[in-house]
Amino acid sequence: MEHFKYDVAVIGTGPGGEGAAMKAAKEGKRVAVIEKHRIGGGCTHWGTIPSKALRHSVSRLIEYKSAPLFREKGGNISFSFPEILRAAESVIERQVKLRSGFYQYNNIDLIEGTATFTGPNQLTIAQPNGANEVIEANDFVLATGSRPYQPDDIDFNHPRVYDSDKILTLGYTPRRVIVYGAGVIGTEYASIFRGLGVKVDLINNRDRLLSFLDDEISDALSYHLRISGVVVRHNETYDKVIGGDDGVELHLKSGKKLKADIFLFANGRTGNTQNMGLEDIGLHPDRRGQLKVDQDYRTELPHIHAVGDIIGYPSLASAAYDQGRFAASAIIEGQCHHQLVEDIPTGIYTIPEISSVGRSESELTDAQIPYEVGHAFFKDLARAQIAGQTVGMLKLLFNRDTKEILGIHCFGERAAEIVHIGQAIMCQKDGGNSLDYFVNTTFNYPTMAEAYRVAALNGLNRLF
């Protein structure tokens, strides 16, 4: 049995693990990374990358079908779910190749297998070939990500019952889908399936979609999902799911019954901390599989750090990478001198897309902060008209006394790109965060960025 000693051992190669490994290696540490599946982790293979690649293909299909020029030429193009999956797989392979190179270039030992703590500073790694490898390290970073939550009373082994990982194995295009859970993942997949022409029932156990969003944006998403043909059912909870040979029945506690070709459960996630021997060394994840950490991402054992989905909020790939870097900095320097930005942007890849940064109207109202609103509707922008992407808007919230930008909310194609322009201004200090920037700067024309000038002027016109 081989036995090696490292300065830092990282478990998981998702964004958090990659960030920690690269930072430690570049600071001269001897680093090992252990991966149970494939390089890139859940983010690359089951979560962020595949779902966004699927969404992109479907969005382009919708764009083509709605363009008058293409309609005039005739031709009814359609794609099956397996066909757009293959397009996503090509992106995944390129990501794996790219990220594999990062570890090679930085002389990081990549070990394939399942890691279990067999001592406070020791891991035993069960490798695919049946062999065990033991490594020791001075410090550890746990970046094992999360998996879809699966209630015990739903049979996920049934061929018509899926979670957000298993759905990527679907080998045909269903006629009708029930999506249970109207969070980020559920609404994204509802958009994808509806874009393929599939009938979709979206079951929400709350009273509105994505309630953490600004109300106007949440309402816009609900409206556009409904007019696209998605049936949205609020305040519903499942009673039982019955899988049969010809479909799946969903019985709701309200008494309603629905039937579809497949059932997609997308209601919550659980941290991947099981079967790692954590309890044996004194670490006890909560019922959601998450670990508590301090401001330096240390767990209750100071030499073991945790980042990403297994520590909870914000559970974003972008934030996990930074958390990994910060944890490695804490290992190297004794403490971390950096922290996540206060206003973390959110990107939701529904159709249309959503992104926001900063506070919402309801948050500002509750805090009794005097604010005003500026809107720019995509239908009025020349670039949006040229591209045929006229659904959407940019919304700026700003302090009516100081003109400080307090929140940016965007709904429509490329929203997750557009929001970063405003984010850059929001981060400016010493008076640099001001609505006046968008009024006084010169934007390329025609561009989507011009929406900031339009929204700023719209907001200023509301002042008195």
pLDDT digits (tens, 9 = 90+) for 318-368: 899 999 999 999 999 988 888 888 899 999 999 999 999 999 999 999 999
Check the annotation: does 237 bind a ligand.
no
- Minimum mean pLDDT range among 70-79, 386-395, 445-454: 70-79
Residues 310 and 371 placed together within one structural domain of the fold: no
Q: How many Å apart are CA 34 and CA 39, to the nearest integer?
A: 9
Residues 9 and 140 placed together within one structural domain of the fold: yes
The pLDDT tens digits for 64-73 are 887 777 777 6
Check the annotation: does 184 bind a ligand.
yes
Residues 165 and 133 placed together within one structural domain of the fold: no
Q: What is the pTM of this model?
A: 0.93
Residues 134 and 281 placed together within one structural domain of the fold: yes
pLDDT of 1 over the 60 cut:
no
pLDDT of 2 over the 80 cut:
no
- Supply the CATH number for residue 234's domain: 3.50.50.60
The pLDDT tens digits for 398-415 are 999 999 999 999 999 999
Q: Indicate the residue among 306, 333, 360 that finishes a domain.
A: 333
Q: How many Å apart are CA 178 and CA 193, to the nearest integer?
A: 10
- Supply the CATH number for residue 363's domain: 3.30.390.30
Check the annotation: does 114 bind a ligand.
no
**Which residues in 253-370 belong to E strands, given as ranges?**
257-260, 262-265, 269-271, 304-306, 346-348, 354-358
Check the annotation: does 425 bind a ligand.
no
Check the annotation: does 309 bind a ligand.
yes
DSSP 379: G
* pLDDT of res. 64: 83
* pLDDT of res. 76: 74
Q: How many Å apart are CA 105 and CA 55, to the nearest integer?
A: 32
- Give residue 48's pLDDT band: very low, low, confident or very high (50, 70, 90): confident
The amino acid that residue 400 corresponds to is R
Beta 3-11 vs 31-35: how paired, if at all? parallel
Residues 281 and 141 placed together within one structural domain of the fold: yes
Report the helix count and the strand count for the chain, using DSSP H and E. Answer: 13, 22
Q: Is residue 345 part of a domain?
A: no
Check the annotation: does 185 bind a ligand.
yes
Residues 21 and 50 placed together within one structural domain of the fold: yes
Q: Is residue 152 part of a domain?
A: no
Q: Is residue 169 part of a domain?
A: yes
Q: Indicate the residue among 267, 289, 309 that finishes a domain.
A: 267
Check the annotation: does 144 bind a ligand.
yes
Percent of the chain with pLDDT over 70: 98
- Which whole number is the average pLDDT over 297-306? 96
Check the annotation: does 183 bind a ligand.
yes
Residues 19 and 116 placed together within one structural domain of the fold: yes
Q: How many Å apart are CA 97 and CA 46, to the nearest integer?
A: 17
Average predicted confidence (pLDDT) for the chain: 93
Q: Indicate the residue among 212, 232, 267 that finishes a domain.
A: 267
Residues 358 and 438 placed together within one structural domain of the fold: yes
Q: Is residue 153 part of a domain?
A: no
Check the annotation: does 434 bind a ligand.
no
The pLDDT tens digits for 20-34 are 999 999 999 999 999
Check the annotation: does 12 bind a ligand.
no
Q: How many Å apart are CA 265 and CA 131, to the nearest integer?
A: 36
Half-sphere exposure of 327 (CA within 13 A, CB side): 35
Q: Is residue 156 part of a domain?
A: no
Residues 37 and 98 placed together within one structural domain of the fold: yes
Check the annotation: does 259 bind a ligand.
no
Is the Cβ–Cβ distance between 248 and 116 less than 8 Å?
Answer: no
Residues 140 and 288 placed together within one structural domain of the fold: yes
Q: How far from chain centre, in Å, is Cα 140?
A: 25
Q: Is residue 20 part of a domain?
A: yes
- Minimum mean pLDDT range among 1-5, 242-246, 310-314: 1-5
The pLDDT tens digits for 195-218 are 999 999 999 999 999 999 999 999
Q: Is residue 340 part of a domain?
A: no
* pLDDT of res. 170: 95
Q: What is the dihedral of CA 39, 41, 44, 45, to 10 degrees?
A: 100
pLDDT of 114 over the 90 cut:
yes
Give residue for tokens 């922008």.
381
Residues 438 and 297 placed together within one structural domain of the fold: no
Residues 132 and 228 placed together within one structural domain of the fold: no
Domain count, the chain: 3
Q: Is residue 379 part of a domain?
A: yes
Is the Cβ–Cβ distance between 25 and 154 less than 8 Å?
Answer: no
Owning domain of residue 182: 161-267
